[in-house]
Amino acid sequence: MSKKVTASVPTPTSGPPISFWDYTLSDAEGNFFAPGYTVYPPKSGWNAWDVIYLGSQQLPGIVEVSVRKLRDIDKKKAAGQNGATLTLHGFDPAEGDIKVTIWTPQQFIDLQTMLRAILIPSGKSQPDPLDVTHPKFQTAGVTSVVPVGIDSIDKGSVQGTMTLTLKVVEYIARSKTKAVKTVTKPIGSNLDPPAPALPGANHQGTGPQ
């Protein structure tokens, strides 16, 4: 039979313990969970969209990922006219948000330990780039990221859970190829059907013969 417990967990560093944010439930074997979230399952039991690896380490809990990858664009407008001339530069490094939801004291410990390791590496002034494994980053062509900060930890939408968002930026070597193009007119899609020939036009569409 489940019972409510309050868990107090030690931090990875010295000092007084930090209490787990909310009440959790404990099953007969002492495993903690929150209403709506099951006991922490084996890694092989997760859906690939719910987990993320940074380097060789899996972040604890369930994650929600968003990735933005955009070109740098100059927009030149003419006074009093609609529209603009667009000059497209190369892609800026992608930016990503990794929202982590946790619901057990052990996940809380693991998350603190990992954040300290990746945000403030021992003996270094800056974080290291980390390989990233998640379908959304893969879709955007992002293979390596640098952790740059976090949003404060807060209560989750389900009682007994906490959420924290990790901010990352794509790590990518600077390209030697210039990637600048001014857009003057749209190019038809390969999927668009060819325009029908005008009556009396030759096969090259240059007009009546």
In a domain, 25, yes or no: yes
pLDDT band at 166 (very low <50, low <70, confident <90, very high): very high
Q: How far is CA 107 from the centre of its chain?
A: 20
CA dihedral 80, 82, 83, 84 (to 10 degrees): 0
What is the DSSP code (8-state) at residue 70?
-
The pLDDT, as a whole number, for residue 34 is 67
Q: How many domains does the chain have?
A: 1
In a domain, 184, yes or no: no
pLDDT band at 124 (very low <50, low <70, confident <90, very high): confident
In a domain, 167, yes or no: yes
pLDDT above 50 for 1: no
Least-confidence region, from 2-16, 18-32, 135-149, 163-177:
2-16
- pTM above 0.85? no
In a domain, 71, yes or no: yes
In a domain, 141, yes or no: yes
Element (H, E) at 138: helix 135-139
Average pLDDT, the chain: 75
In a domain, 112, yes or no: yes
Residue 97 CB burial class (10 angstroms; 0-12, 13-18, ≥19): middle
In a domain, 122, yes or no: yes
CATH number, domain at 143?
2.40.30
The angle formed by the CA atoms of residues 22, 23 and 28, to the nearest 5 degrees, is 145
Taking a C-beta distance cutoff of 8 angstroms, is the pair 105, 20 a contact? yes
The 10s digit of each residue's pLDDT in 57-78 is 999 989 999 999 988 777 787 7
Give the range of the structural domain holding residue 143, as residue numbers without chain letter. 3-77+85-174
Taking a C-beta distance cutoff of 8 angstroms, is the pair 97, 113 a contact? no
Mean of pLDDT values over 28-32? 67
**Whole-angstrom Cα distance, residue 62 to residue 50?**
5
In a domain, 131, yes or no: yes
Helix (H, G, I), strand (E, B) or coil at 41: coil
In DSSP terms, which residues pair with 87 in a beta bridge?
Answer: 74, 182
